[in-house]
Chain A
Amino acid sequence: MSDYSMKDIEWAKINRDVLASLESPRKEFWIVLSVCIFLVLCGAAAEVYQYNEGLGTALMNKPHYWQLYISNFVFWIGMSHSGTLLSAILLLTHADWRKPIYRFAEAMTLFSILTAAIFPVIHLGRVWDMYWVLPYPNERGIWPNFRSPLLWDAAAITTYATSSVLFLYVGMIPDLAICRDNAKGWRKKLYTALSIGWMGRASEWMAFRKTYVLLACFLVPLAVSVHSIVASDFAMSIMPDWHITSFPPYFVAGALYSGCAAIITLFVLLRYVFKFEDYMTTEIMDKTAKLTFAIAMVWNYLNLSEYASIWYSNDMFEKEVLLEKFFGPYHWVVWGMLLCALVAPFAMAFEKVRHNMWAMFWLSLVLQLGMWLERFQIVSPPLASNHEPWTWAVVWPGLIQLTITVASFGWFTMLFLIFCKIFPSVSMYEVKEMVFHRRKASSRTDMEDLDKVKNDMIKAEEGLS
């Protein structure tokens, strides 16, 4: 039975396989890493140019005060949510199939936040005064505006980033100790420092378990609130088609959706690159795909109900924007989103697709494209047809914005690759736990047989006597 497929893995093999991923990598790794670094440099050059010349070089203009930077921000923040979902929510619900894949999902969370955090910064007109958004004590007694959703954003993101780092780090301590025991040179020093003297005593494990579950309990509501606050950036405004009450749950669902798709992408890639076939099994992919499908349906429901509520509200401005979305200059973005994010997930209803790694890989990319387009169509079309018809204008993002967007993908991948080379991207101790439980579960049938034999023997003995 596929459920027990992982029961035959030995403890030493788990250590060996995971630690092998930290060894000197294949040539492809360096190629991808250098491409990523190149993209980051391109993005940095674009940003330097924009910084010197002004934001107008990014082709934003009067009605389009916000554009790709904000949609990218929402996209990356969204991607960070599924890591929390996999590691915290599924931990609390005792879904043991998360164990081999949650570590990289958590790392993905952290690096998406780090990517997302770049965008509000480069989006600002006066970057050098960015710290004014924070309520720091100053001699002038000036406070930031606590009513502004942007301030909530700053607070929410810093909190989320800090707790994600903590959660990732705490969950990694037992594994870092394993790494420490096997490492040499600078790695030995690094792991020794990071594993803070983990010896694997029972008392340590008990304290560790408690901390981990508490952190998970803290992180779940936090993750929901973070994306609700990002949604408030739009929902709190009075712009037609931004001012929508259902935006917070809609954003959270969309976040989990695009994040799950990203997990599937990285799942297939890591499985291939690091030969994790024994751990990242088709069974786990099947469950991840089912989860993604369920979330996709929630997102679809919220998306369609948003259209319905706009349509039946009969509000002149909102309706205008809705029609402009479907038939206006941005129509291909909206239809593309519907095709990629609403129609495509139905492929996951078929077991054949769910069990085919590369099919899932390409499908997950399509889903992510759909969700990226979704973020663009949230930001741009309402600005293009706002309350004031005289200012209506269609503007497409310029070269600078596109370069920085591509660079953000490079930046994320770069951080992720470096992480995978330094830290174990599969949780060794949790996989061992999983294997242990499965072994026990599968041997239960044998145990029953043993009992029978035992009983028979006892009966036979009684008969003899």
Chain B
Amino acid sequence: MALKRMLENWSDLRKQDYYEDEPYMWGMSIDLNKCTGCGSCVTACYAENNLPVVGKERCGSGHAMHWMRIERYWEEPEGETDIDVEHSDYPERGAHYTPMMCQQCNHAPCEPVCPVAATYHTPDGLNAQVYNRCVGSRYCGNNCPYKVRYFNFFDFSKDIPAPLEMQLNPDLSVRSKGVMEKCTFCVQRIRTAKGKAEDEGHRDYIEDGAVKTACQQTCPTEAIVFGNLKDNDSKVKTLWAEHEVELNRHEQDKVEDTRGYRVLEELNVEPSVMYLDRVRDTEA
């Protein structure tokens, strides 16, 4: 029984870095300087993860199911400008784009509050959601500071018109009414790559770039970098190191000219996604 196992291995389970020996720790870096807000990552996510298209009305009522979203924030330009941000139809100069999806927190606030343990942490650093286990109490959604958990408020899978169910991705399930879902870092791709690596005889090593998330694959400016944070040669780890962002460090020591930060990291949720701040020349 699980309880017996738990009691026997109590000291092991209480260890600080429980998954220390695990060779993988998936992480991401998003360069906001490169992001143009085109939304192709959102589209790719819809195609890859069988996300339901809910239509204009339900989008308006807050029932959209986009695991990834482009957040637009308007910024007042400093000093005198030729653009009136407030009243202009196209105040591009004032817009900030932030692609926002599940940050795969290492101290995820959604995990301890689920009554049925439908959301849990995988050894490779993913914040997993077990659809079959979810009873839909929606506590996780409330406790998520990024509000990136999406609840199936309706039976969306029923609304797919006739031939379109043929285009669904067979690698993952279609979620039913009443369960919570969210970005998985394209876990089906990670698992496929892991299986392939195991077949080739190197279980503990996946080549950097062998796993690409759908959003990363589609991003025209390559703003999104995904990879293994425990692999010191991976591109994402290099970027994290370059911008002096570290896991398990509560407050990042900000060095001049580094742009790295993690969203809401002061809440101590340890997100696995690093953002690189946007720099702009206000004079130009």
Binding site for B on A (CB under 8 A): 53-57, 59-66, 120, 123-126, 129-130, 132-133, 141-145, 147-151, 154, 233, 236-239, 242, 383, 386-391, 393, 395
Contact = CB atoms under 8 A, between A and B. Distances in A.
Interface in B105-137: 109, 112-117, 133-137
B143 interface: yes
B117 A125 contact: no
B2 interface: yes
Given A59-B61, A126-B177, A393-B62, 11 more contacts: A61-B62, A65-B151, A124-B178, A141-B2, A144-B116, A145-B117, A147-B113, A150-B113, A237-B113, A387-B146, A389-B73
B23 to A, nearest CB: 28
Contacts of A130: 135
A297 B152 CA distance: 43
A59 B63 CA distance: 9
Given A126-B135, A387-B267, A56 B153 contact: yes
Contact of A148 (B3, B72, B114, B267): B114
Contacts of A61: 61-63, 153
B135 A129 contact: yes
Contact of A395 (B62, B64, B139, B150): B62
B114 A54 contact: no
Contacts of B58: 56
Interface string B46-87: 000000000000100111100001011100000000000000
Interface residues of B, number: 47
A125 B2 contact: no
A413 B280 CA distance: 64
26 contacts: A53-B154, A53-B155, A55-B153, A56-B58, A56-B63, A61-B61, A62-B64, A66-B142, A123-B137, A124-B178, A125-B178, A126-B135, A132-B115, A132-B133, A143-B2, A144-B116, A145-B117, A148-B117, A148-B139, A149-B113, A151-B115, A237-B143, A238-B109, A242-B142, A387-B264, A388-B146
B11 to A, nearest CB: 19
A380 to B, nearest CB: 11
B158 to A, nearest CB: 10
B267 A125 contact: no
- Top 8 closest A-B pairs, CB basis? A125-B136, A61-B62, A125-B178, A56-B153, A65-B138, A150-B115, A145-B117, A54-B154
Given A124-B137, A125-B136, A54 B153 contact: yes
B260 interface: no
B142 to A, nearest CB: 5
A120 B137 CA distance: 8
Contacts of A55: 136, 151, 153, 178
B98 to A, nearest CB: 8
Interface of chain B, helix or strand or loop or mixed? Answer: loop
B112 A54 contact: no
Interface in B224-272: 264, 267, 269
Contact of B3 (A143, A238, A383): A143
A133 B143 contact: no
A413 B114 CA distance: 33
B180 interface: yes
A66 B142 CA distance: 8
Given A56-B63, A124-B136, A125-B177, A145 B152 contact: no
Nearest to B1: A141
A56 B135 contact: no
B166 to A, nearest CB: 25
B145 interface: yes
Contacts of B109: 237-238
B42 interface: no
A154 B115 contact: yes
A65 B177 contact: no
A51 to B, nearest CB: 10
B215 interface: no
B27 interface: no
B179 interface: yes
B115 A148 contact: yes
A177 B224 CA distance: 77
B100 interface: yes
Nearest to B155: A54
A383 B61 CA distance: 15
B179 A126 contact: yes
Given A132-B133, A145-B115, A390-B73, A239 B153 contact: no
A238 B141 CA distance: 11
B196 interface: no
Contacts of A144: 115-117
A126 to B, nearest CB: 4
Contacts of B191: none
A123 B64 CA distance: 20
B251 to A, nearest CB: 15
Contacts of A149: 113, 139
Interface centre among A65, A142, A154, A242 (most CB of B within 10 A): A65
A144 B139 CA distance: 14
B263 to A, nearest CB: 9
A353 to B, nearest CB: 41
B147 interface: yes
A237 B155 contact: no
